[in-house]
Structure formats: structure tokens, C-alpha cells
């Protein structure tokens, strides 16, 4: 018995396989895993152990709370917290065995002071901003600190120096070369400290130096790290919902809130139990375009009008009649409807589709560890 109409399947074997594929592209570099945002919506408590079982030893989360949750299920892993650390929270990092990623002088001084005061080695990463202009030390600030970091004169141990690429999924942009060159110059000042540059797309491209550590995220969960060509990753998530109701309407009938959709022909509609409260996009990206497509049998069918909070109306006129009956499955994600296509149709990106996956769905894990 499904407590929710829609059923989300997450393939942990595919996540593990995707990690192993990316590791194979890294040569001597270690392949870590970015598992922030509840492992991109797939469930940190399941995905973390599955990756650890596959061989992953180093993980990256966004927040301290995520790190604490991950530590409970992967007790022996190295865990970095990407978003620095909130003032006064250093004891919590030490208590949970987490490593902050330090991107400001204030963070560095606070962490160093805590490590000295408690006679700790204080393992932490240093984040350099090489062009994204989001988090991280400015290059000149890093240059001024480099010698002290290399010689461990600041009172803590820098175990990683990293930056974040802004356009690695884009071909033929000067920004990639500029960031790569600048990062290479900067990390040459701290040769004993491992460096990390590559995200998902960069791992797949030979022009990006691997350094010591790679940090893929999106590709682990089936997202295409090579949008210019066929996706090399295995799909991870499938989302289906059963048909609740079927109705036939004449041409000219208005459907859904605000009468935004009007039948241009005699039409057959189906309703399923999934809406914007389940993380689906409510409004179409352009007038007269559907906010989503679904599969009924092997037929692509558009959503009719706006999504409701908990329901979706679908124009199933072209679907085969033998696929239209109560409880018949409708595929929202899966097969040709991969997360990148679903995101594009909704006028957004696959990242948002993944990280918006509702906790209301009935979840089923394949390859559960």
C-alpha cells in the first residue's frame, strides 16, 4: 500500500557505478563525492554508505548539520564542510570529526586560534576564489598566506587547497583556462598541500588538471556532465505516479486554475497525485508551453495548464487507450525523461529537479546497503 500516490526509485548501484566511472578518469587523483543538499535529493543516509562501500573515502557537504548527519553513517570518512563555519562553532567540528573549508581571513584566524588553544592539529581546507566571486580567499590574500600554510605556521594543518570552477560544462570559454592557470600558479606556492580543482564536468575533460582530489557532485546522481554530447552517467532516479482519474472533455473546455489551458480539440485528461508541493515546477517557462511532459506507456504527453499543490492534469489524448486506466503508471522522471530534459522543459536545470524531490514520495532504494 502506497502512503503517497507517487513512487520515487533511487538506484544506489547506479550512484556507486557513476562514482567508479569518474574515479577511473582521474588517474592517480582521489575521487571524492559531493553529497550536499541531502545527496542532491537522493537521501544522504543511504547514498553516503553506498558511496563509501564503493570505495569513496572523502565527502563534501555544505553545512555543519549535513556533516554531522553524514558522520553518523560513514564513521571513517573524511568530511569537509564547504560553506566555512559559523562563528563559535569550532567545537562542533572537532566533536564530529569534520573539517571546515576556510575562505576568509576571519575564519582562518578563528580556526587557528581554537586549534592552538586546544592543542589540536586542526585539519581544514583552504578555499581560493579564482573567478566565481562567491566564496574563497582572494588570490593576493592566499599568496600572502602561502608560506605560513606550507610550513604550518598558522596553528593548524591545511589538508586541502581548493577552488570552484564557474563554467566547466561550457566548451570554448576563456574563463576555464584563466581559472585553471591561476589555480595552478597559486597551488605551486604550497606544494605539500593536496589541491582540488575538478567538479563533475571537469573530471570528464582532459584539459583540466586532476591534482590530488576531484569533487564530482551532479554526475554521481545521473546528471549529464557533458551537455555537448551523450550522457556517460547511469540514470539514478525514476519517478512514477498512478492515474487517479480519467475524463473526456469537448473542444474549448478550460482546464485548471485561471483557465490557462483550453482544449483545442476533444481531449482526454488524466489526473495524478503529484504537484508543486512535491517539488515540481508550477508554471510553464513560456506561454503555451507545458511545464512538464510525462510518459504514458511509450507516449509523451504534456501537462495541461498549471500544476496544483498536490495534483497534475495531463493531456493524454494521444496516449494509447489500453494505457489509460485507473492505477496505470505515469512516468515523470525516467527513460527519455532524464533529469536534464525534465529540468529544461520546466525552464530550469536538472540540479533543481533533483534537490526538490519531495520527502512525501514513497521511496524505494535499489542496492540498499
* Other CB atoms within 10 Å distance of the CB of residue 308: 16
Q: Taking a C-beta distance cutoff of 8 angstroms, is the pair 198, 211 a contact?
A: yes
Q: Active site includes 240?
A: no
| Active-site entry in 36, 40, 218, 276 | 36
Half-sphere exposure of 316 (CA within 13 A, CB side): 29
Q: Taking a C-beta distance cutoff of 8 angstroms, is the pair 349, 357 a contact?
A: no
Half-sphere exposure of 298 (CA within 13 A, CB side): 0
Using DSSP bridges, classify how beta strands 30-31 and 213-214 pair: parallel, antiparallel or unpaired. Answer: parallel
Distances, alpha carbon 355 to alpha carbons 10, 41, 146, 187, in Å: 13, 4, 36, 33
Sign of CA dihedral 135, 139, 144, 148: positive
Cell of 204: 570528464
* Other CB atoms within 10 Å distance of the CB of residue 28: 7
At 124, give phi and psi (nearest 5°).
Answer: -160, 160
Query: CA 135, CA 176: separation in Å to the nearest integer?
Result: 17
| Active-site entry in 46, 93, 221, 257 | 257
Contact partners, residue 167, CB within 8 Å, separation at least 6: 173, 175, 176
C-alpha dihedral over 139, 172, 355, 348, to 10 degrees?
120
Task: Return the biggest CA–CA distance within the chain.
Answer: 78
Q: Active site includes 36?
A: yes
Query: CA 141, CA 108: separation in Å to the nearest integer?
Result: 12
Q: Taking a C-beta distance cutoff of 8 angstroms, is the pair 304, 264 a contact?
A: no
Query: CA 207, CA 304: separation in Å to the nearest integer?
Result: 45
Specify the DSSP class assigned to residue 303. Answer: B
Cell of 133: 566571486
Q: Report, as residue numbers or ranges, the catalytic residues.
A: 36, 257
Amino acid at each position: 500500500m502506497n502512503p503517497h500516490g507517487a513512487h520515487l526509485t533511487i538506484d544506489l548501484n547506479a550512484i556507486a557505478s557513476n562514482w567508479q566511472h569518474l574515479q577511473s578518469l582521474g588517474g592517480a587523483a582521489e575521487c571524492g563525492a559531493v553529497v550536499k543538499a541531502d545527496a542532491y535529493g537522493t537521501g544522504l543516509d543511504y547514498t553516503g554508505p553506498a558511496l563509501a562501500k564503493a570505495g569513496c573515502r572523502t565527502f563534501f557537504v555544505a553545512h555543519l548539520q549535513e556533516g554531522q548527519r553524514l558522520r553518523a553513517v560513514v564513521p571513517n570518512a573524511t568530511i569537509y564542510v564547504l560553506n566555512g563555519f559559523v562563528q563559535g562553532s569550532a567545537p562542533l567540528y572537532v566533536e564530529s570529526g569534520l573539517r571546515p573549508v576556510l575562505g576568509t581571513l576571519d575564519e582562518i584566524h578563528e580556526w587557528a586560534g581554537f586549534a592552538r588553544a586546544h592543542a589540536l592539529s586542526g585539519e581544514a581546507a583552504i578555499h581560493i576564489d579564482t573567478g566565481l566571486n562567491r566564496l574563497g580567499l582572494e588570490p593576493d590574500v592566499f599568496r600572502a598566506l602561502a608560506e605560513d600554510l606550507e610550513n604550518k605556521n598558522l596553528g593548524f594543518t591545511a589538508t586541502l587547497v581548493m577552488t570552484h570552477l564557474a563554467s566547466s560544462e561550457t566548451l570554448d570559454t576563456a574563463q576555464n583556462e584563466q581559472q585553471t592557470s591561476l589555480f595552478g600558479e597559486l597551488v605551486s606556492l604550497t606544494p605539500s598541500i593536496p589541491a582540488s580543482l575538478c567538479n563533475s564536468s571537469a573530471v570528464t575533460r582532459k584539459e583540466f588538471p586532476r591534482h590530488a582530489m576531484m569533487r564530482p557532485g551532479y554526475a554521481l546522481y545521473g546528471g549529464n556532465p557533458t551537455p555537448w554530447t551523450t550522457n556517460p552517467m547511469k540514470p539514478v532516479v525514476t519517478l512514477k505516479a498512478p492515474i487517479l482519474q480519467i475524463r473526456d472533455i469537448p473542444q474549448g473546455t478550460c482546464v485548471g486554475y485561471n483557465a490557462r489551458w483550453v482544449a483545442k480539440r476533444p481531449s482526454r485528461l488524466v489526473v495524478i497525485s503529484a504537484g508543486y508541493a512535491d517539488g515540481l515546477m508550477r508554471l510553464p517557462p513560456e506561454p503555451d508551453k507545458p511545464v512538464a511532459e510525462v510518459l504514458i506507456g511509450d507516449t509523451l504527453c504534456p501537462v495541461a495548464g498549471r500544476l496544483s499543490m498536490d495534483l497534475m492534469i495531463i493531456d493524454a489524448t494521444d496516449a494509447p487507450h489500453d494505457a489509460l486506466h485507473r492505477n496505470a503508471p505515469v512516468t515523470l522522471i525516467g527513460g527519455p525523461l532524464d533529469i536534464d530534459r525534465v529540468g529544461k522543459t520546466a525552464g530550469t536545470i536538472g540540479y533543481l529537479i533533483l534537490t526538490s524531490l519531495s520527502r512525501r514520495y514513497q521511496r524505494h532504494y535499489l542496492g540498499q546497503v
